[in-house]
Chains A and B, each alone.
Chain A
Amino acid sequence: MPRHTKRPRYLLWFFLAVAATLVLLPESYGWSLRSQALSLCKPVLGWFSKGGDAGATASASRAAPNGTSPRGDDGKSNEEADRLRAELVRLQEENRQLRAQAGAAALPAEVARPKGASAKVIARQTLGTEPLLGLDRGLHDGVKKGDGVLFRGAVAGRVVSSADGAACMALVTHPGVTVSARLSEGRVEGVLSGGRTVDGERLCVFKAVGAKVQARPGEAVVTSGLDGSFPPGCWIGTVVSSERKGDLEWQILVRPAVSGPNLEAVFVVQELTPAEVPWPAKKK
């Protein structure tokens, strides 16, 4: 068989040049191009996502009975929110009085109320199957990539990119979002990440290391504060099931408190220092 003559590579070099140009584009422009391309594909993607919005509405209504849905667009939800706010004020006052009685020092202001900024959700876009939300705060307001986002005190997600006057956040169910977390009763610490779908419901996976991790279904999962993005003790979700994955590794499925993209306003946590890791006392 004669040796095959070398073929011209003009096409490959052209493609390489195009790819290099795309890489060199500013990140914000890249995201814009990407979202425009995905918008063009939206009819096809919607066909794959079991009826698109109808599916999302159905999943939101499924989540509503246990009070974990963030939807607040009807009268009952607003009443419930007002009642909870009043309850919060009452409990804070009661807590303050009890601390005063116990002689404990009042919590520093930054712990009681972390520094941050309220932001309105100005855009909702689904990239692939993952919803991303646009916020009306950006670098000018101190909102930067990696900042934690809360909704009614519960973890909603993280800021994934930030421009001068706007930012983009991913929900806690996004596979790329991780939060350092802790079981509220078992006090086991680990890392929680999104990206798990079980029976059409979007859940998170809490990975913990320990010889015996007792995670009771229904137990609350809260932030540990070790990642410096969220203050410790913020509610993330509740345990659905627990499974041992190795000698010391455990995978715990968590139903997030905030799972849907239908948020109107959120709170972006800023300038938080990581919680101090307890260090064993030195032997004397």
Chain B
Amino acid sequence: MREALGFGVLVAVLAALQLALVPGLPVWLQGDLLLLGGLLLLAGGRAETASIFLFGAGLCMDAFASPRLGLCTLGYLAAALALWNLERDFVRARSLGAWLACVLGTLIAYLVFALLGWMTGALETLGEGFALLLHRVVASIVIGLPLALFLEWSCARLGLLSVWAREVRAGR
């Protein structure tokens, strides 16, 4: 129950920030907060719950800001699938690893988004998708680390950290 409430709060806060605040920021700060949040959960929390989070976040973005239903969700989950096996290594590397997960995951998610969007006709040109990919990756490099530190702290407060992440934190 506590976990579900924590997730609900996180998705709502990140979605509100993504839709209300991010479009007004400079281009190099316009990251995908929901994707970054999901990837950081994947890195520091339980993988199953992170995939639920990413699925919910993807549907949320598809409902509000995607040119085609399912495109964001598929991109997010493709990134989760690619990073699933690396979960332990990222936890071991702590926030720096989570930051790298953010950058790599954003690259994969928006590569899928751009290619599928172009193939399904949701994006008029492939360049449009790659421009978005570039913005998001640059933004994830800039804001990934502070967000990793913030989410690590908030996940610890909400009890969403995995057993492995708790061990790492206890060993510090």
Residues of chain B from 40 to 70 with CB closer than 8 A to chain A in the complex: 47-48, 51-52, 54-55, 58, 62-65, 68-70
Residues from chain A with a CB closer than 8 A to the CB of B64 are 38, 127-128
B64 to chain A, nearest CB (A): 5
B43 to chain A, nearest CB (A): 13
Asked whether B70 lies within 8 Å of A12 as measured between CB atoms, the reply is no
| Contact (A23, B69) CB under 8 Å given A6-B85, A12-B81, A16-B78 | yes
Asked whether B47 lies within 8 Å of A7 as measured between CB atoms, the reply is yes
Asked whether B80 lies within 8 Å of A4 as measured between CB atoms, the reply is no
Asked whether A30 lies within 8 Å of B68 as measured between CB atoms, the reply is yes
Asked whether B70 lies within 8 Å of A25 as measured between CB atoms, the reply is yes
Q: How far apart sit A120 and B167, CA to CA, in the bound complex (Å)?
A: 64
Contact of A34 among B62, B73, B81 (CB under 8 A): B62
Q: How far apart sit A172 and B37, CA to CA, in the bound complex (Å)?
A: 33
A154 to chain B, nearest CB (A): 26
Contact of B51 among A12, A21, A195 (CB under 8 A): A12
Interface size on B, residues (CB 8 A): 35
Contact of A9 among B19, B81, B122 (CB under 8 A): B81
Contact of B19 among A3, A12, A34, A128 (CB under 8 A): A128
Contact of B74 among A7, A11, A20, A37 (CB under 8 A): A20
Q: How far apart sit A195 and B23, CA to CA, in the bound complex (Å)?
A: 9
Asked whether B73 lies within 8 Å of A22 as measured between CB atoms, the reply is yes
B172 to chain A, nearest CB (A): 14
Asked whether B77 lies within 8 Å of A19 as measured between CB atoms, the reply is yes
* Main DSSP-derived SS at the B contact region: helix
Specify which of A6, A12, A175 lies most central, judged by the most chain B CB atoms within 10 Å of its CB: A12
Interface size on A, residues (CB 8 A): 31
Q: A79 within 8 Å of B by Cβ?
A: no
Q: A27 within 8 Å of B by Cβ?
A: yes
Q: How far apart sit A201 and B54, CA to CA, in the bound complex (Å)?
A: 34
Asked whether A11 lies within 8 Å of B48 as measured between CB atoms, the reply is yes
B45 to chain A, nearest CB (A): 13
Residues of chain A from 1 to 47 with CB closer than 8 A to chain B in the complex: 1, 3-4, 6-7, 9, 11-12, 15-16, 18-25, 27, 30-31, 33-34, 37-38, 41
B-binding residues in A (CB < 8 A): 1, 3-4, 6-7, 9, 11-12, 15-16, 18-25, 27, 30-31, 33-34, 37-38, 41, 48, 127-128, 175, 195
Q: List 15 A-B contacts (CB under 8 A).
A: A1-B92, A1-B164, A4-B87, A11-B52, A12-B77, A12-B81, A15-B55, A15-B73, A20-B70, A21-B70, A30-B68, A30-B69, A34-B63, A41-B63, A128-B19
